[in-house]
Amino acid sequence: YNAKDYAFAAGRFREFLAKYSNHKDAVSAHYGLALAILDGPDKDYNAAVAELQPLAGAKDAPDYPFYLYYLGLAERGQGVKFLAQAAAMPQQAQQLKDQAHGRFDEAAKQFAAALAAFSARVKPPAADAKDLPIDLEWAARARCDLAEMRLRLLDPKGAREAVEVFT
């Protein structure tokens, strides 16, 4: 994964999970597989959601906010794909747009939960700190993605509220 050979990494994660599904590092393998799927050239948002959804309940896990964030990212990807299909198939456009709306709504919930989880982990920076705490940066990223989902859901007031802290 670190060498950016996502197809190879996904294969190795799948192999590990097939052999050692009950291993103590299986959760990390599911997370790594989801990241490899999302970062690879052939993004399979459905597979990423399938890997991340069970992890989203692990509130005590150190990577919990990331599970939520990437689950939101995968659900947003599903919604965007539905919109692309709607443009290509006008006879089914309304049904596909409704499905996209549902995915965007779910993504908004995940981004909001990720924002809360990252924000809860932020520690005040030292007086001489030159960089922002990384959790604060991730919270800002989740906030922006939440605003995007609110806009896609035709909720400009919700989008404005999501990013109001920046002003």
Note down pLDDT in tens along the chain; length 167 residues. 989 999 999 999 999 999 998 998 999 999 999 999 999 988 999 999 999 999 999 999 999 999 999 999 999 999 999 999 999 999 999 999 999 999 999 999 999 999 999 999 988 777 777 888 899 999 999 999 999 999 999 999 999 999 999 88
Could you tell me the two tokens for 43?
């993004």
| pLDDT value for 124 | 76
| pLDDT value for 147 | 98
3-state secondary structure (DSSP) of residue 40? coil
| pLDDT value for 127 | 74
Helices (H), the chain: 6-19, 26-39, 45-52, 64-88, 93-121, 134-152, 156-163
d(CA 119, CA 107) in angstroms, rounded, equals 18
d(CA 35, CA 122) in angstroms, rounded, equals 23
Instruction: Using alpha carbons, select from 135, 131, 154 the residue that is nearest to residue 143.
Output: 135
| pLDDT value for 108 | 98
The model's pTM is 0.92
| pLDDT value for 164 | 95
